[in-house]
Amino acid sequence: MRDFSCFRDAAVSVAAAAGGGGAALDRSLQAATATVYRAALSSRKELLVRVTWTRGVTATAAVAPGATGLAVAVDEASRAFPSAAATTPRRSVMRARSPLFLHKKRGTRFFVTEAGTVVAIYWDTTDAKYPAGSSPEPTRDYYLAIVADAELALLLGGGDAARQVARRFVAAPRRAFLSRREQFRAPPSPTAALSHSTRCRFRDDGAEHEVTVVCRGEDWGSRDGEVAVSIDGKKVVEARRVKWNFRGNRTVLLGDGAVVEVMWDVHDWWFAGGGSRGAQFMVKARAAGGGGTLWMDEEMASKGQPPGGFFLHMQCHRR
């Protein structure tokens, strides 16, 4: 494990680039998750699929307070990450920055991209079960299927209905999990410790890991306190005296051989009353072959290219 003495704001830009495009999550939401997948079809087309689950704080004209929302965006990967030389990018029928909101709990939607890819979205969240807490993403008894040119590009959830959808279509040759962004709100008590856990795989063939982030102190905004990040119950970051350690970065080797960069930035949270960005925690997996270091990813992002390796970005705002 090695430490770095500085942490640049550019890491946040890398997170946005790793997310495959799309607007930032809405801070006013109670909770939200945005996950990006890449699917390679047998025709050699590559698609990026962005699935966003949300839970609102107050009621709207169409949604009850605390109800969950679902949005899906699909785009050809080449247009989602245009080259720096491109001057006038082509506009697709549906882009990652223009998600399709699925307001009903069950249904089917069809559309055709500008490149001619026929996409169908099948979903059913009627009986979905959600985890304890504010997470808007269901854990079972639901399914979301993305079919592109009659190939199953993505299938989330499970159950008999999901298996029936899977039997109807041939699975796409390759699928990859690119990034996950989670947004949540702090506990109502100003003296309570902030703690949040999630699970993800840093490599397609790797084990599933539990990542837990913690902020605690006698009083938010004080000069003392602690920031901690644990992976599979093992503390890999423990930054005390937040006055000096509000940003940082460490490299960690996991048990399954994955090398990840763990980053934190709690400056706005600690010193600016929550700030526009709140508290941020990022875990970046290095790409295969030793690449995927932060400076390489920053350079790739500046050229409009997707950085290598999975990216987990957790962001907390105050209530």
At 294 the pLDDT is 55
Torsion sign, CA atoms 164, 165, 167, 168: positive
Residue 174 bridge partners (DSSP): 40
Q: Which of 104, 117, 118, 114 is nearest to 71 (CA)?
A: 104
Domain, as residue range, for 56? 2-317
Q: Which two tokens stand for residue 100?
A: 């399709």
Phi, psi values for residue 113, rounded to 5° = -75, 170
Average pLDDT, the chain: 77
- pLDDT, one tens digit per residue, over 78-137 is 655 443 333 333 333 444 347 899 989 999 999 998 888 999 999 999 999 988 776 899
Q: Is the model more confident about 14 or about 148?
A: 148
Secondary structure string (H, E, C) spanning 153-204: EEEEECCHHHHHHHHHCEECCEEEEEEEEEEEECCCCCCCCEEEEEEEECCC
Residue pointed to by tokens 């960690």: 252
Total domains in the fold of the chain: 1
Q: Give the number of other Cβ atoms within 10 Å of residue 124's Cβ.
A: 21
pLDDT tens digits, 264-283:
998 887 777 655 678 899 99
How far apart (Å, rounded) are the C-alpha atoms in residues 100 and 122? 13
Tokens 């997948």, residue located: 37
